[in-house]
Amino acid sequence: MKKHIVVLTGAGISAESGIKTFRDADGLWEGHDVMEVATPEGFKKNPALVLDFYNQRRQQLNEVKPNQAHFDLAALEKKYHITIITQNVDDLHERAGSNNIIHLHGELRKMRSSEDENDIKICNEDIKLGDTCAKGYQLRPHIVWFGEAVPMIDKAMEICKQADILVIIGTSMQVYPAAGLMDYVHPNIPIYYIDPKPAHVNNKKVIIIEKSATEGTKTLLEILTENE
């Protein structure tokens, strides 16, 4: 049986590919207040602005590529059973070759009905005002906005309970419910936390690797090889 490594990834792993985060910029995301573009209220107030914002983010995906950290995680599947639980809405893990990915906060390359969260379709083009689902409701990005439920969190919790090793990469561990996932792993398993500016973690068993995602993942591979 292959060991099961569960990897929690956040904005820090995508930042090295050129995707900007908003938590490093006083709540601004690409120049916008996140409350304007990442809440149901913002969408209700100005749907055209929100659609345009995510159309631009989707177009940006065509200009960036997975970095070495993404590729290293994909390569781990040769030796381990890997599940990636990501807070990121990009598709860089998929493009690097990873196969088991749970997107907690949705996916830029998908859209859904604004009235039926289960009516989800692939989206590689712009979503325009007036584009509707089969029932006539406006289409919106398949993104979990602030104030909305996180549909995949229960599945993520169950996955964490099955982990033999937990790896955390590029996340502040401040956004809930994702930040609470560490509490669901078995108390005796090793936990590695990779981040150049790691947050304070109330768990003495966490092994902190104070490096960027690409450098830290390289270090992680060396540790795993030594422990084989």
Q: Which residues are catalytic?
A: 105
Residue 112's beta-bridge partner residues? 120, 140
Crossing angle of the two packed helices 68-75 and 213-226, in degrees rounded to 10:
30
Q: Which residues, other chains included, contact 103 with Cβ-Cβ below 8 Å and sequence gap of 6+?
A: 86, 88, 89, 152
77: exposed, middle or buried (Cβ count in 10 Å: 0-12, 13-18, 19+)? middle
Instruction: Please give the backbone phi and psi of residue 53, each rounded to the nearest 5 degrees, phi first.
Output: -60, -50
Phi-psi region of 130 (alpha: psi -120 to 50; beta: other; left: phi over 0): left
200-203 long-range contacts, CB within 8 A, separation 24+: 201/173
| DSSP annotation string for 69-133 | HHHHHHHGGGTSEEEEEES--S-HHHHHT---EEETTEEEEEEEESS-TT-EEE--S---TT-B-
